[in-house]
Structure 1
């Protein structure tokens, strides 16, 4: 989960939808629930529960499948709701006030904070199901198209227009290819860096190389060239539209 991911914040904003839906269900079912100054703490607890629940759901749900996202939100919002009321119970226990002198110890003075919390948690587990699933469905519907667009990144760019017979790859793809060559026992002789400018590939004049040392075993050369290539690609300034070409050569095992 990245805090710079706009999709995450859009999903968090949907907590308002969950809160509004929950309040609407409470008004229909309870009839007496009204939005006023006394109900604001309840609304804040509801909103906080969804915000926390959706944050965890976003982290554990790798794909925007609405059913998994909705169920995860529902499950973790219940945990969040329970945690909030557990905190309230602890505060109430630490701030217990003695009974008035004119009240007998055998007199029933109503539900305890713990009992009220259990009832509230039970009601929450029922009321929050529809809003959680609605939020999961809305997020999947709204964000899946954005995700698909962001996933359409270039896997490679031809260097033919620059007179080079080969391709350049974005950082992640270049690291995968380097690992593939390493597993195939192919040393990486070096590589060049390119960038896309207005849709056209251009050389940055940056490059790296790894020559084989005298009397260096072939496997040692493969390992060393692999680490040099990966370190260069990873450490290269993280600029947008940066691509790397990789030059290889198959060496035969020494006799």
Structure 2
């Protein structure tokens, strides 16, 4: 995950939607009153979702909504439990003094254990649907952008979302790139094949490589590596969803 990835920040913004849906359902089913006493709870829920969204995005290499939603729900639940545990410890270490006009049997303090457990339980029940809805909407948003790009005859894709620093190309574009390397006297060390479908990038684990022989001149190696790359790319079954990454080398002068 890189901070320059716009999709990450878009998904983080969807935490607001998750919070709004969750608080709305809590109001609907549990008659939660959105006053000043509930505002801290809303802020905690928002922070919980922000953390859950960030960790879920980092742990996922695709935009599959079901997996994204389940991991967001799981990490958000963990974040909520940790936040309330911290609040409870702070409250325990610095207990609120009971004023003289309050009964000794009455508990004072926002983060009482019973209230904490009730809130976590309610959130655990209510938040599942908003989390999955948000993941589904976010996935549709990302796929819509991909569909537009694909409709414009996408010629290359970034492999950043699967943790690879590189670009993969369609068959025709890969052949053109290979020819540019050949004309620039740059050898092609090899390449990998990827499947790009519904906004998701997956490696096919097909690849080729071309090592330099000890008896080869630099020109012979460049020419042979170019021919090996072209033969592999041309012979690969035609598929509009198949993309090729090319690993270039260099010639020591």
TM-score, normalised on structure 1? 0.61
Please show how residues 32-111 of structure 1 align to structure 2 within 5 Å: 32-34=32-34, 36-97=35-96, 99=98, 107-110=104-107
- The answer for the alignment partner of 2:169 in structure 1 is 154
Report if the CA contact (8 A) 1:12-1:54 is conserved: yes
- The answer for the alignment partner of 2:243 in structure 1 is none
Root-mean-square deviation (Å): 4.2
Deviations 1:158-203 (A, max 9, x none): 27987x68998999949x9998224xx7568658xxxxxxxxxxxx
> 1:144 Cα shift?
2.7
Change (3 A) 1:83 1:66: same
Deviations 1:180-227 (A, max 9, x none): 224xx7568658xxxxxxxxxxxxxxxxx9xxxxxxxxxxxxxxxxxx
Aligned pairs, how many?
A: 193
Deviations 1:11-60 (A, max 9, x none): 111111101111210121122422x4333222211111100001111111
Q: Output the CA distance in 1 between the equivalents of 2:57 and 2:186.
A: 33
Gaps of 5+ in 2: 150-155, 159-167, 193-204, 223-245
TM-score, normalised on structure 2? 0.61
> 1:96 Cα shift?
1.6
* Larger Cα-atom Rg: 1
Q: Output the CA distance in 2 between the equivalents of 1:81 and 1:157.
A: 51
Q: Output the CA distance in 2 between the equivalents of 1:167 and 1:144.
A: 39
Q: Output the CA distance in 1 between the equivalents of 2:61 and 2:8.
A: 12
Report if the CA contact (8 A) 1:53-1:73 is conserved: yes
Q: Output the CA distance in 1 between the equivalents of 2:184 and 2:11.
A: 41
Please show how residues 150-189 of structure 1 align to structure 2 within 5 Å: 151=157, 153-154=168-169, 156-158=174-176, 173=191, 180-182=209-211, 186=213
